Amino acid sequence: SQTIHQWPATLVQPVGSPLSLECTVEGTSNPNLYWYRQAAGRGLQLLFYSVGIGQISSEVPQNLSASRPQDRQFILSSKKLLLSDSGFYLCAWVTGQGHYGYTFGSGTRLTVV
């Protein structure tokens, strides 16, 4: 079966510390992978997407970066967190053209203090 794993579920980090969020999918190959962020009380904003290993597209300028070292692994990183990086981060995957709906992970709630 196709599943998506995202961890950790919650994270509290001090300002200026590094960040690494990991997302892995199972049961599929060559998926398109996405990182979305949801700020408190707001909608979902697409941060990065990847159509293949080593291929990263950034949607908005920010303090974050993404990498895809393996086909089914997508990592969101930061060298130095800002308060404004707080939010709910969701990983998603889709195969093909994505018209059959995206599957989202359970999310990571990041609080930068």
Partner 1 sequence: AQKVTQAQTEISVVEKEDVTLDCVYETRDTTYYLFWYKQPPSGELVFLIRRNSFDEQNEISGRYSWNFQKSTSSFNFTITASQVVDSAVYFCALSETGRGAQKLVFGQGTRLTINP
Which pairing describes strands 10-13 and 108-112: parallel, antiparallel, or unpaired? parallel
> 73 or 109: whose CB is closer to partner 1?
109
Least CB distance to partner 1 at residue 85 (A): 17
Least CB distance to partner 1 at residue 80 (A): 26
For residue 76, give the nearest of 13, 2, 7, 3 by alpha carbon.
Answer: 7
Least CB distance to partner 1 at residue 82 (A): 22
> 15 or 60: whose CB is closer to partner 1?
60
| Beta-carbon contacts of residue 10 (< 8 Å; ≥ 6 apart) | 108, 109, 110, 111
> 14 or 54: whose CB is closer to partner 1?
54
Task: Enumerate binding residues for partner 1 (CB under 8 A).
Answer: 32, 34, 36, 42-46, 49-51, 57, 59, 88, 90, 92, 94, 97-107, 109
Task: In whole angstroms, give the CA distance from residue 34 to residue 56.
Answer: 10
Least CB distance to partner 1 at residue 44 (A): 4
| Beta-carbon contacts of residue 21 (< 8 Å; ≥ 6 apart) | 6, 7, 8, 11, 75, 76, 77, 89, 91, 108, 110
> 18 or 70: whose CB is closer to partner 1?
70
